[in-house]
């Protein structure tokens, strides 16, 4: 059986609470209906009395609202343009980040097969680094490593930092 997730547990708890509350809800329903019936005439009266007041307020507010719209239109336009530019920039940055993360997250292994041999290029690079360190250098000294693989000779020639050279035969 699959392990219950937090969502499943919450759903089970909500179901249990709903079932436990059911008798209380059933008792409350008639009381709620009576309250609605009593409140309905009062709501109608409030709507009836407030209608003219609301209409009057809206009529008086309309010129002010129009003036505010008129004065804020240039700022609104600039804000809208800047928001669109920002949204485009965010979309572009998100795309760049997504692509960059995908490149970093992907794993690539490169094998060379020739005759009866198969070598992984990263293994050769690691052995060359170790060979360079064994020759008295520090791993931190390696800034650039160029490897030239010659499968027909079963040999990898290398250059470290454009000056130190060597070879590794596999």
Give the mean pLDDT of 64-91: 84
- Asked if the structure places residue 33 within a domain, the reply is no
| Per-residue confidence (pLDDT) for residue 28, from 0 to 100 | 85
Predicted pLDDT of residue 2: 63
This prediction's pTM: 0.40
Q: Which range marks the domain in which residue 136 is found?
A: 111-169
Q: Please report whether residue 34 resides in a domain.
A: no
Query: Quick check: is 139 in a domain?
Result: yes
Which residues make beta-bridge pairs with 56?
A: none
Residue 48 forms part of a structural domain: no
Three-class SS of residue 135? coil
pLDDT digits (tens, 9 = 90+) for 90-140: 877 777 666 666 666 677 788 888 888 888 999 999 999 999 999 999 999
Percent of the chain with pLDDT over 70: 92
Partner residues linked to 119 by β-bridges: 112
The average pLDDT across 145-160 equals 93
In a domain, 17, yes or no: no
Task: Yes or no: say if 105 and 143 are a contact pair by the CB < 8 Å rule.
Answer: no
Q: Name residues whose C-beta falls within 8 Å of residue 127's C-beta, 6 or more positions apart in sequence.
A: 168
127 falls within a domain: yes
Q: How far is CA 1 from CA 4, 12, 15, in A?
A: 9, 16, 21
Weakest mean pLDDT among 3-7, 27-31, 44-48, 109-113: 3-7
Residue 43 lies in a domain: no
Evaluate if residue 144 carries a pLDDT over 90: yes
What is the reported pLDDT for 123? 92
> How much is the pLDDT for 103?
63
Overall domain count for the chain = 1
Element housing 164 (H / E): strand 164-169
């Amino acid at each position: 059986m699959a392990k219950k997730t937090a969502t499943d547990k919450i759903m089970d708890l909500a179901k249990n609470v709903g079932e436990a509350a059911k008798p209380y809800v059933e008792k409350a329903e008639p009381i709620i209906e009576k309250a609605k019936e009593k409140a309905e005439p009062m709501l109608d009266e409030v709507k009836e009395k407030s209608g003219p007041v609301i209409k009057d307020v809206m009529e008086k507010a309309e010129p002010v609202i129009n003036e505010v719209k008129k004065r804020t239109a240039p700022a609104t336009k600039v804000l809208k343009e800047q928001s669109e530019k920002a949204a485009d920039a965010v979309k572009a940055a998100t795309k760049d980040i997504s692509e960059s993360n995908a490149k970093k997250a992907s794993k690539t292994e490169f094998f060379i097969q020739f005759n009866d041999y198969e070598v992984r290029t990263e293994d050769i690079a690691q052995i060359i680094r170790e060979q360079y360190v064994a020759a008295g250098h520090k791993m931190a000294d390696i800034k650039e490593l160029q490897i030239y693989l010659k499968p027909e000779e079963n040999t990898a020639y290398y250059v470290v930092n454009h000056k130190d050279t060597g070879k590794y035969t596999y």
